[in-house]
Amino acid sequence: MITSPLPGTPRRQEPTPYVDLTRSEWSALRDKTPLPLTAAEVEKLRGLGDVIDLDEVRDVYLPLSRLLNLYVEATDRLRGALNTFLDTGDGHGTQHGTPFVIGVAGSVAVGKSTVARLLQALLARWPEHPRVELVTTDGFLWPMKEMEARGLMARKGFPESYDRRALTRFVADIKAGKDEVTAPVYSHLKYDIVPGERLTVRRPDILIVEGLNVLQPALPGKDGRTRVGLADYFDFSVYVDAKPEDIESWYLSRFRKLRETAFQNPDSYFHRHTLVSEEEAMAYARRMWQTINLPNLTQNVAPTRARATLVLRKGPDHKVQRLRLRKL
């Protein structure tokens, strides 16, 4: 017979690999770290439809920048210990400093791009690591012609729509300490890769990699062997989380605002949606969410949440309410 605990008896806590914190508990961990950003700077970093303000930066992202700084320092100390172990007296085996790599994952319209830009701005203010680079995985989407040839235009953003080998190799080269590494450039205006244009990254102290599927595990090779995946190069990872119904609301709101702004450009891939009624344009946006973005979220993006070092849980107002930090 199953019995219920007596009234007032505390329930036994189930073991969990996370420390679960409220926003106020997390905010208290910033430990007098000064806020290096102004309201004007936060405004420039904020994505369309995001409601982030100085309070959000102070309560959520300032403590996170402090935690990441501690992680970077600890990694440096661990590298020193490894060098002591590997030292044979002739310099062979010595591990030189390599970039600290941070992954930022989450759904379309959840605000992960703003999170990544904020972290870049905050971390670059720490004197220990002034060179902080940010790369989005959009540049590693297959070009539109290749997408069409592969029948992937209705699956843009799904794992198979990226050149995952090139993306992993790009981060691996940076992690290996190469002096200069380049990546393709994506145009949100054209909705395509820009031919002949490259982004160059030169030995950063910290590299932030932001994208939908950055926490995806590697697929096994044709020989069945497990390969090294992108997330294997991360020293820390953040997953930006929210209820799907809230993300849908933000997605539709952003589409509406883009229709009033960026889509007005005749060169925009989505310009055609400014030439029809708002009702017709928003019906298209809802179809995009239901047939592409929501299935990608539920099938591919959300299942990687448990792989993150830190989960930021947002409420309906786009503000972070709770945080889950993986234990060591």
Q: Is the pLDDT of residue 6 over 70?
A: no
Q: Is residue 8 part of a domain?
A: no
- CB atoms < 10 A from the CB of 27, how many? 17
Q: Is residue 157 part of a domain?
A: yes
How many structural domains is the chain composed of? 1
Q: Is residue 10 part of a domain?
A: no
323 vs 36, more confident: 323
Residue numbers belonging to the annotated binding site for ATP? 106-113
Write out the residue range of the structural domain in which residue 178 sits: 18-76+97-326
Q: Is residue 84 part of a domain?
A: no
Give the pLDDT confidence of 101-148 residue by residue, as tens digits. 999 999 999 999 999 999 999 999 888 778 999 999 999 999 999 999
- CB atoms < 10 A from the CB of 83, how many? 14
Lowest mean pLDDT among 6-15, 119-128, 181-190, 214-223: 6-15
Residue with tokens 């993300």: 247
DSSP SS3 for 176: coil
How many Å apart are CA 252 and CA 254, to the nearest integer?
A: 5
**Residues whose CB is less than 8 angstroms from the CB of residue 3 and which lie 6 or more positions away in sequence, other chains included:** none
Q: Is residue 7 part of a domain?
A: no
Give the pLDDT confidence of 26-69 residue by residue, as tens digits. 999 887 777 787 778 887 777 656 678 888 989 999 999 999 99
Q: Is residue 109 part of a domain?
A: yes
Q: Is the pLDDT of residue 23 over 60?
A: yes
Residue numbers belonging to the annotated binding site? 106-113
Report the CATH number at residue 104: 3.40.50.300
When pLDDT is cut at 50, 70 and 90, the band that residue 95 belongs to is low
Please give the model's pTM, rounded to 2 decimal places: 0.90
Residue type, 206: I
The mean per-residue pLDDT over the stretch 270-296 comes to: 97
Q: Is residue 241 part of a domain?
A: yes
Specify the pLDDT at position 289: 98
Q: What is the mean pLDDT of the chain?
A: 89
- 3-state DSSP of 238-306: EEEECCHHHHHHHHHHHHHHHHHCHHHCCCCCCHHHHCCCHHHHHHHHHHHHHHHHHHHHHHHHHHHHH
Q: Is the dihedral angle over the CA atoms 249, 65, 119, 180 positive or is it negative?
A: negative
Specify the pLDDT at position 1: 39
Q: Is residue 82 part of a domain?
A: no
How many Å apart are CA 21 and CA 19, to the nearest integer?
A: 6
